[in-house]
Copies of this chain bind each other. A is one copy, B any other.
Amino acid sequence: MNIGLDMMGGDFAPLEAVKGVKQYLLAHDFDGLSLVLFGDELQLSALLAEQGVPQEKYQVIPTTEIIEMNEHPTRALKEKQNSSISVGFKYLATGKIDAFISAGNTGAMLVGAMFSIKTVEGVLRPTISSVIPKQDGGTGLLVDVGLNADCKPEQLNQFAVMGSVFSQYIYGVEQPKVGLINVGEEEGKGNILAQAAYPLLKENKAIHFIGNVEGRDVFGDKADVMVCEGFTGNVILKLAESVYDIAQNQQIDNPYLNRFNFEIYGGTPVLGVEKPVIIGHGISHGTAFGNMIDVAVRMLNTNVLGKVKEAISGI
């Protein structure tokens, strides 16, 4: 299993990426894993040696360019062919790595995921999700969180399926309860999209649909997988992230609110593409990088993308 890591992406790269590699290897030392690290050879060699990362577990693929956080995604990917992200996607597309992780330019990662590797057969549009910390200790999944700002009902229906599979195989939720984000509890509530999506979800045998969930249910245990278009989902996610900042500002140290530190979840995988691509937050530290490697390994070990394909074909 070869997992590729963009070592130059994120506000604290490459040091924190190196720390993440070390953390992961210390916690999960298994045979058959090789980390493929894309980035500046000199910097990386020095840092990897300094951090004492065992040499037999990684190889460095030297790249000479970096796509910065604010660059235009498609233009940057085209112009910076020797950037860590561009080279990473070439390796992914040609099978030299099995998964690719970066905390760099989100747009470039999305464009790379959608155009350098294939969409899972039958998937209308890939999607991105986020973990949502539940008050009962559980792990919720919100999907889509920003890739698809405008959606058709059929897309929401597919997000529900992909989210369910992911919740089951990656977060270990048996028969995940799927809820439709909406403005009221009853069927028939909502905007045109939610009203049209409801009957599709209701009739979808590949999921366990429990009906509408409202803003007040997001952190509750009503649904494990919460489905909406990427506009609302992105607003919810960023608002949830701000809850952690508020707790910090207010000097509240509470175990549940600490779970709103989204860094602990690593990154968000792109669902619906044929290979694992995981996008981290710009502010990722070592733990986040380590967790992204962990998610990639679990995605490969569980063949979750194969399960997504199966589930989508069964709708």
Contact = CB atoms under 8 A, between A and B. Distances in A.
Contact of A235 (B220, B236, B246, B254): B236
Interface string A225-253: 00011111011111111110110011010
A183 B183 CA distance: 19
Interface stretch (A115-123, A211-219, A285-293): A211-219
Interface string A123-146: 000000000000100000000001
A298 to B, nearest CB: 28
A242 B219 contact: yes
B191 A149 contact: yes
Contact of A237 (B215, B217, B241): B215
Q: So how many copies of this chain end up in the complex?
A: 2
- Number of contact residues on A: which range applies? 35 or more
A254 to B, nearest CB: 5
Chain A interface main SS type: helix
Contacts of A218: 235, 239, 242
Given A216-B242, A241-B216, A242-B215, A231 B150 contact: no
A144 to B, nearest CB: 11
B238 A235 contact: no
Contact of A239 (B135, B149, B216, B257): B216
26 contacts: A149-B191, A181-B235, A183-B231, A191-B229, A191-B231, A194-B231, A214-B234, A214-B238, A215-B234, A215-B237, A215-B240, A215-B241, A215-B242, A216-B241, A216-B242, A216-B245, A218-B242, A219-B242, A220-B242, A231-B232, A235-B235, A235-B236, A236-B236, A236-B239, A246-B257, A250-B257
Interface of A: 135, 146, 149-150, 181, 183, 190-192, 194, 214-220, 228-232, 234-243, 245-246, 249-250, 252, 254, 256-257
